[in-house]
Amino acid sequence: MQAGDEFVSANNLYGGSFTQFNDILPQFGITPRFVDPVDPNNFAAAINDKTKALFCETVRNPGLEISDLEAIAKIAHDHGLPLIVDSTFSTPALQRPIEQGADIVVHSLTKWMGGHGTGIGGIVVDSGTFDWKSKKVPLMNDPDSSYHGIRWAHDLGDLAPLAYIMRMRVIPLRNLGACISPDNAWMFLQGIETLPLRMERHCENSRAVATHLQSHSAVEWVRYPGLEGDSNYEKAQKYLGGKGGSMVIFGIKGGAAAGSRFIEALQMFSHLANVGDAKSLAIHPATTTHSQMTEEQQAASGIPPEMVYRRRSRSGPADGAVVTSGWNLPCLTRLVIRRAGDVSPLIPTHVIVQAVRLRRVIAGRLPVLRWKVNRSRFSVRIAIPRFRR
């Protein structure tokens, strides 16, 4: 896209994506039109002459609504537009968005794809089926002065299906530097090799966590698309092969104070933001991953204010949290590293390395439930779950 262009996007995005669309792209003259994606017709209503693409997440972060990709893709194609989807939350192991109508799929590799929280990167996958020969897209149809006047949608001969991804490699990647570092790329390749197995385990663990929370007296509500009765259960059957994914969201009775006690008391779950790796974590999205959004933007995006702000009422509003179950939850040792008295740790690398070494030594040898090592200001806790396989 270029200055003057518009695109229509779901309004319920990961906070960083929302900021990029709402605050950064307009600085370059590109305007997003945000719509509630729950009714796909909202996309159609927001399309105008300047619209260049539709965008949504397959499974929304953090609300876990599943997009009706087939319906949104139909609207896009009826208007001669490509559908771009962020499939980070479902991964190729659970969902195949291109077969469901998407033209371009993007993933954060930082999460489930890498699987260990060790690298930062993303990937763009082109279906190769969208016909870019359209006056609506000058970048693909006008001569490109940076590449010998090539018209990407017209001049590639047999390689025509590669027009978009070839331009992506030659222009943004080569000229603008949108390239993963070799070290990170190597780590992602290691992770992707085990993705299907890990996703199986993620889904199994998350279902167990959701089922447990459902019957817990301190829990007000639970949302997990894999649970029968969940508002997105049908869509999970259709789009995620019946799996519910790796995230569970729930509300705790007793408001923000109860939420804060919950986070502080966690033993096996860490309080951190990187979803989709080996660790199980819990987080309060509205005050962390989506904290840069205004209250109104959070509400429009499905993050109610009581998830952020304490509201005192007799009934005690629920305080929301997201839990993601790491793929190793039931079978391996779990490590929690904390700076003493602080739940948002900034731990020096040498302490982490030390702790990881410690974990390797201890894993599988000591039949203890919890173990503590105090290292000056830092403590390392190692918990071995009761249920070992």
Ligand X SMILES: Cc1ncc(COP(=O)(O)O)c(C=O)c1O
* Chain positions contacting ligand X, by CB under 6 A: 14, 16-17, 57, 61, 86, 88-89, 108, 110, 120, 122
For the chain, helix, strand, coil in percent to 5 are: 35, 20, 45
183 φ, ψ (degrees, to nearest 5): -60, -45
Closer to ligand X by CB, 67 or 88: give it: 88
- CB 66 → ligand X: shortest distance, Å? 13
Residue nearest to ligand X (CB): 108
Closer to ligand X by CB, 137 or 282: give it: 282
Closer to ligand X by CB, 286 or 351: give it: 286
- CB 331 → ligand X: shortest distance, Å? 26
- CB 110 → ligand X: shortest distance, Å? 3
Closer to ligand X by CB, 89 or 378: give it: 89
* Ramachandran area for residue 355 (φ above 0: left; ψ -120 to 50: alpha; else beta): alpha
Strands 247-252 and 219-223: antiparallel
In angstroms, the CA 71 to CA 43 distance is 10
Tell me if 53 sits within 8 A of 100, measured CB to CB. no
Closer to ligand X by CB, 276 or 330: give it: 276
Closer to ligand X by CB, 61 or 328: give it: 61
In angstroms, the CA 79 to CA 361 distance is 59
| Tokens linked to 68 | 């009706």
In angstroms, the CA 68 to CA 109 distance is 23
- CB 37 → ligand X: shortest distance, Å? 13
- CB 184 → ligand X: shortest distance, Å? 10
Closer to ligand X by CB, 152 or 188: give it: 188
| Tokens linked to 336 | 């929690």
Closer to ligand X by CB, 110 or 333: give it: 110
- CB 236 → ligand X: shortest distance, Å? 17
Closer to ligand X by CB, 51 or 289: give it: 289
CA 43-45-46 angle, to 5 degrees, is 70
In angstroms, the CA 15 to CA 212 distance is 28
Closest alpha carbon to 83 in 152, 129, 123: 129
- CB 92 → ligand X: shortest distance, Å? 14
The gap from C-alpha 320 to its chain's centroid, in whole angstroms, comes to 17
- CB 373 → ligand X: shortest distance, Å? 31
Closest alpha carbon to 251 in 326, 308, 314: 308
240 φ, ψ (degrees, to nearest 5): -115, 20
* Interhelix angle 182-193/195-214, nearest 10 degrees: 70
Strands 51-57 and 6-10: parallel
- CB 170 → ligand X: shortest distance, Å? 23
Closest alpha carbon to 61 in 28, 92, 85, 25: 85
